[in-house]
Structure 1
Amino acid sequence: MATSFLVVKNRAFSKLAAALTDSALTVDVTAGDGALFPSTYPFHITIDDEILAVTNR
């Protein structure tokens, strides 16, 4: 069985560019901050106490 590891990029952070709703499927960050995050998928982000899997840009 193959092993896969999560992509790590420590201390990357940004502010949300727009408010989230309870049905939001996307998260927009401040312009230019997307480059701070990994460019390969999946990776995880944390918003408050919620951990989310990022699967696309």
Structure 2
Amino acid sequence: MPIAVLRAVLLTWWEAHGRHTIPWKLRADGARPEPGEALDPYGIWVAEAKRR
């Protein structure tokens, strides 16, 4: 399967079934980040590590 097809399939699946309401994967104002927009990696790491 070509990588472009795999990427499209995975992104389609994520849009339909992905976890979209995870607070630490949103911007500070609660909006979803734009494609390529960087989020604070420390905040994401702390939130993920705390869950375990």
More strand by share: 1
Give the TM-score of the pair, scaled to structure 2.
0.23
Higher helix share: 2
Q: Which has the larger radius of gyration?
A: 2
